[in-house]
Amino acid sequence: MTKKELQHLFESFSSKRIAVVGDVMLDKYIFGKVERISPEAPVPVIDVSSQSFRLGGAANVAANIRSIGATALLFGVVGDDDDGAILASRLNGDGLSADFLVTEHSRPTTAKTRVIAQNHHIVRIDSETRKPISSATERAMFELLAEHVTSLDAIIFEDYNKGVLTTSLIKKILALAQKHRVPVTVDPKKDNFFEYKRATVFKPNLKEISDALGRKFSNTDADATLACQMLQKKIKAENIVLTRSEKGMTIYNGEAEHIPSLALEVADVSGAGDTVIATLTVGMTAGLDALTAAKLANVAAGVVCAEVGAVAVDKAKLFSACLNYFAKQPLTS
């Protein structure tokens, strides 16, 4: 892929509109130093130096889409609380709209607080519920999505099993996407794993596929291929993209291709999966085949793993990394 071809590809992202549907989260980070142990209990005392709020879960997927130049429409559920207000503010600050979020007063906004000292993750505190959303909330979400489906180039399901993606909502959205011929990509979790049948791309990680199939797969190419073959019989996806941590990815669509990881400096893997599904989906809407789009996503994952915390991939850094990676590879579209 030449520099000119890569520039054309990245420029084409701006015309793409992608819906992200699923569990939105607020990521809170508390940074500080540990210099003593508490006299009250054998635990470290954190002297706080700074705090920050970031987009997590489906919101981080949307942020990645926005960061590389495409338009993201974020459909999810928040509570009527301070965390929901902070999340909406962060969305607006990152050039995303909170207009497609439905407020459910009986549930909290999903929030995860991470305490980090001297670049070490000390503890994580979760505020959330996993109860299914109400039928009224589900109906409101679906109606919002249906209003915009004809303008979409793809739909991403971002499932963290927090109760937003119910079985009935998944089926309704899949039927809607099929009716309007909108490609669907899926970042699954265990509870709804086999509900996403006939997706364009289904992207589990090795633990998720092992848990779902009830069989422990080792992180070898042979086991990765076998896992994809077994899963394909159940869900009939056009493409399976199996993420394998330090071993990279396996792409399966009848045949398996193994892509080695490009993460040379790993500061934090938080949010890498979000970056992968976002970049892969944008790449496919821009005309790349699943394998080439997965390679693009693999490069993006390598870029974000060098950052601390869940952050959106930087477009300039991604372009530079892609220019190096694809320099001797043909552009497939």
Catalytic residue ranges? 274
3-state secondary structure of 148: helix
Dist CA 269 CA 292 (whole Å): 22
Rg (CA), the chain: 20
Dist CA 87 CA 98 (whole Å): 8
Dist CA 84 CA 88 (whole Å): 6
- Per-residue tokens: 44: 């470290």
Query: What order of strands is seen across the sheet that includes strand 24-37?
Result: 44-57, 24-37, 111-117, 120-127
Contact 253, 263 (CB under 8 A): no
Supply the angle between the helices 58-67 and 272-285 in degrees, to the nearest 10. Answer: 50
Q: How many CA atoms lie within 13 A of 12 on its CB side?
A: 15
Q: Residues 157, 143, 234, CA angle at the centre, nearest 5°?
A: 35
Dist CA 103 CA 133 (whole Å): 10
Q: How many CA atoms lie within 13 A of 55 on its CB side?
A: 30
Supply the angle between the helices 167-179 and 135-148 in degrees, to the nearest 10. Answer: 20
